[in-house]
């Protein structure tokens, strides 16, 4: 799924010269670039949790504003359960991520 969320491609370079001032300091091989990618994954995770939280807030507000048969959708128990399940999943994701980010 992760490859579907962004444009992915391949760049191949043979016999490329990199000046000393453009090399990553104190890093040999692919350890440096892969380390940057690993740290970027945390940012992506935080971003998805933020997007999920925004979606939950929008859904909640919609159910409060939308009237059906003279009552807000939020007055229906099934809608309340769905919103509660959404919030639970977001909270569990945040909690799990906080374990790894520490």
Q: What is the C-alpha to C-alpha distance for residues 27 and 66, in angstroms, rounded to an integer? A: 56
User: Read out DSSP for 29-52?
Assistant: TTHHHHHHHHHHHHHHHHHHHHHH
Domain 48-102: assigned CATH number: 1.20.140.10
Q: How confident is the model at residue 101 (pLDDT cuts 50, 70, 90)?
A: low
Q: How confident is the model at residue 68 (pLDDT cuts 50, 70, 90)?
A: very high
* Six token digits for residue 73: 């959708």
What average pLDDT does the structure give for the chain? 87
3-state helix, strand, coil in the chain (%, to 5): 70, 5, 30
Q: Structural domain boundaries of the chain? A: 48-102
Q: Please give the pLDDT value at position 69.
A: 95
Is residue 21 pLDDT above 80, yes or no?
yes
């Amino acid at each position: 799924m992760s490859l579907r969320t962004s444009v992915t491609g391949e760049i191949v370079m043979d016999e490329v010269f990199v000046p000393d001032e453009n090399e990553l300091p104190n890093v040999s091989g692919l350890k440096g670039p892969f380390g940057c990618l690993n740290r970027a994954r945390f940012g992506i995770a935080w971003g998805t949790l933020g997007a999920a939280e925004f979606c939950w807030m929008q859904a909640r507000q919609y159910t409060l504003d939308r009237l059906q048969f003279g009552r807000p959708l939020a007055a229906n128990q099934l809608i309340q359960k769905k919103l509660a399940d959404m919030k639970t999943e977001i909270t569990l994701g945040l909690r799990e991520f906080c374990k790894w980010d520490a």
